[in-house]
Structures are given as C-alpha cells and as structure tokens.
Structure 1
Amino acid sequence: MGTPWSSLCPSKVPFYGIIPRKETAPLRRIQLNVTFGQPDNFQKEPLTFEVVDFPSIYHALLARPCFAKLTAISNYTYLKLKMPGPNGVIIIEGSFEQAYYCEQDCIAQVATLSAPYGPTDSDQDTGRALVKGQRSQGDGDAQPTEH
C-alpha cells in the first residue's frame, strides 16, 4: 500500500480463525477510512486493521465488530454484503471464481502450516502460526486484516 512502517501502531492482540487451531500475531495495526458503495449512495467509516505478513488473495478480512459498526449483513452463499446507506441499501458483491481460488490457496496454506514437525526437528509446534518476514522496522508489503 506504500504506507510507511512508522505510521503503523504497535499491536499485541492475536486473532483467531485464519489458520485453524492456531493464533496469528499481527505485525502492527493501522486505522484507515474505508468507503463502501457508489458515489450516489455510500457509507464511509474509519476501520482499524491488523497488519499481517502472510500470503493471501484477501486484501482485508472484515469481522463481526466491523459488521456491527456498519450494521452490515453478510450472506456467504451469495457472496453479498448489505448495509444501509443514505439513499437505500448498499450491496457489495463478491466473485465466485475468486472465492474458489482463494479457498484452494487457503487449503494449501493450512496444509503447510499444520504439517507436524518430524522427529529430527528441534523446534516444537507451540500452536502459534508462523508469520514470514516478521521485522521490527522498515517498509513492508504487509496486508491489513480488520480487528
């Protein structure tokens, strides 16, 4: 996104549900103004995102706190998100093709991260997800995840 690392705030709150049975530790967090809808009917809200550094085709994950803030309703069967706007209902539509490829990518990631350590490995799986490229300073190509 081209956001300087210095503009990100520290975050120590792990989140769950991305990788089954494991917690994920974010690198940092950022607050961004997000606009949903079209120019004639939109809703703009500041949302706080947890910044993570693992591959995914998702750019952001919107969780229950976000849905509550936006008074949004999601329908996973039809890949639609509906929320009230000043001039009627705002409908955000997803792509079934993109969802399929994302699901295949997630299955591959879970298989890799959930693989047990071999008997010769000195490290033990502590239940914490591995986050590649964790660093304390510098710019990164990290992806935000809503908190």
Structure 2
Amino acid sequence: MEKLGIKEKQLLPSRTVFHGTGLSCSLIGKIKIDVLFGDKDHFCREPIWFEVVNLDSPYHALLGRPALAKFMAGIITIAGDYQKSAACAAASSRLAESLVITEEKRLLDRVVAMASKQPGMPSDPKETEAQGSFQPAKETKKIALDPEHPERFAVVGSNLDIK
C-alpha cells in the first residue's frame, strides 16, 4: 500500500472476512485500483477492488474468486520479489510456531491450575486403599459366609443392634 502511494484515508470501510490465509489479520479497508492485464500489444485495463490487511505475507496481492472469474480467458502471470517472498514465508512460519507455542503454554497453565485445585493423590496405591472415603468402625468382627470357604467372609461392626 505504501509502495503504491496509497494513504489510509483513501481506503473505504469493508466488512469482508478472510478465509484460508492461515494467520489472523486485521482488515484496514478496501480500495479500487486499475490493473493492467496482458502485454504491451494485447492488454486490458480493469478496475479491481482490493481488500487491504495488515499481514506480513510473501504475496503482495491475492486475487480472489471475483477477480479470477472476471478473467477466466488465459493465464495470469504475476511477477514478484522472490527474496522478499522467502523472508516473509520464514517470518510467517516463525509467527505460526510462536502462536502454537503460546496456545500450548496457555493450555498447560490451565491444566496445572486445575491440578493444583485437586486434593493431593498419594503416589503409593496401597495408601489410597488405606485412606479411602469409607472407613470401617473400629470394633468389627468377621462373619463367615460359607463354612467350606473360610476366605469368604463379611466384616461387620461388633456393636450393631440385633435389629
């Protein structure tokens, strides 16, 4: 936008939403620019609306469906700066990686916060059994369930009422 000499006050408001860019970007506005298609012998000048965004991208312009549909007859060749494209692609990759790392750190912080609110768990499973929520009465007795199988028994309180 700056290299074309376009000032922000020349932009019109826009409610367009971008999809498929891979990164979030803020929409600044839109502007109609005359674009020349073709070569010096065969060309066509057409006004095209461009949505302007604040996005570090290897592309200076993305032609969307409306522009491509308008010029379906022929091949569109666009020249660009390959060094700038490679630098922008590398920067976008670093940005995407940092966004993923930031999101993973946020989720990890959330898990740690949730874990700190939980009561402590003993590391030894035998401690868990000993500290269960159900604790038998101090005075208990074993009652055989089957005389032929002494390992089968029930534990009941010894001070229970007969009823």
Q: TM bucket by the smaller chain? A: 0.5 to 0.7
Give the match for residue 107 of structure 1. Answer: 93
Matches within 5 A, 1:1-147: 1-19=4-22, 24-71=25-72, 82=75, 92=77, 101=86, 103-117=89-103, 118-119=105-106
Instruction: Give the aligned length.
Output: 102
- AA aligned to 2:53 is V
Give the 3 Å change call, closer, same or farther, for CA 113–66 of structure 1 in structure 2.
farther
Give the match for residue 119 of structure 2. Answer: none
CA distance in 2, matches of 1:104, 1:53: 17
Q: Point out where structure 1 has 5 or more consecutive residues left out of the alignment.
A: 74-81, 83-90, 121-147
Question: Larger % of strand: which?
Answer: 1
- AA aligned to 1:53 is N
Report the RMSD for the aligned CA atoms in angstroms.
3.1
CA distance in 2, matches of 1:70, 1:54: 26
State TM-score, norm by structure 2: 0.50
State the SS of the aligned residue for 2:102. Answer: coil
Q: Point out where structure 2 has 5 or more consecutive residues left out of the alignment.
A: 108-163
- Bigger radius of gyration, 1 or 2? 2
Question: Larger % of helix: which?
Answer: 2
CA distance in 2, matches of 1:6, 1:67: 27
Identity rate, percent: 33
Contact 2:31 2:51 survives alignment (8 Å) = yes
Deviation, 1:47, is: 0.8
Contact 1:13 1:25 survives alignment (8 Å) = no
Give the 3 Å change call, closer, same or farther, for CA 119–57 of structure 1 in structure 2.
closer
Residue deviations 1:12-49 (CA, integer Å, cap 9, x gap): 221111116x5x44111111011122110112211111
**Which structure ranks higher in relative contact order (CA pairs < 8 Å, sequence separation ≥ 6)?**
1
